Amino acid sequence: MCTNIVYEWLKTLQLPQYAESFVDNGYDDLEVCKQIGDPDLDAIGVAVPHHRRRIHEAVRRLKEADETVAGLYFTLEP
């Protein structure tokens, strides 16, 4: 079994059985996982409706966390 951030994320969602399929389909980083939609879940093999909802909700939370952190970035002008 793969051990990476996506596996750990799926484990917290109680969906570690999908980890190998995620990685096999190119979803080996949370930044990539933020782009997951229904066609992606079909390709990965997530067919159980409540598993799909759990993943969609987790993706939404990942995106919200990005928006919160985005306000902390700044640049220094010379």
The CATH architecture annotation of domain 5-74 reads Orthogonal Bundle (1.10)
Domain map (residue ranges) of the chain: 5-74
Residue whose structure tokens are 């909802």: 53
d(CA 25, CA 21): 6
Confidence class of residue 66 from pLDDT cuts 50, 70 and 90? confident
- For residue range 15-60, what is the model confidence (pLDDT) as tens digits? 999 999 999 999 999 999 999 999 999 999 999 999 999 999 999 9
Sign of the dihedral through C-alpha 34, 40, 42, 46: negative
Q: Which residue has the higher pLDDT, 66 or 23?
A: 23
67 pLDDT above the threshold of 90: no
Whole-model pTM: value is 0.79
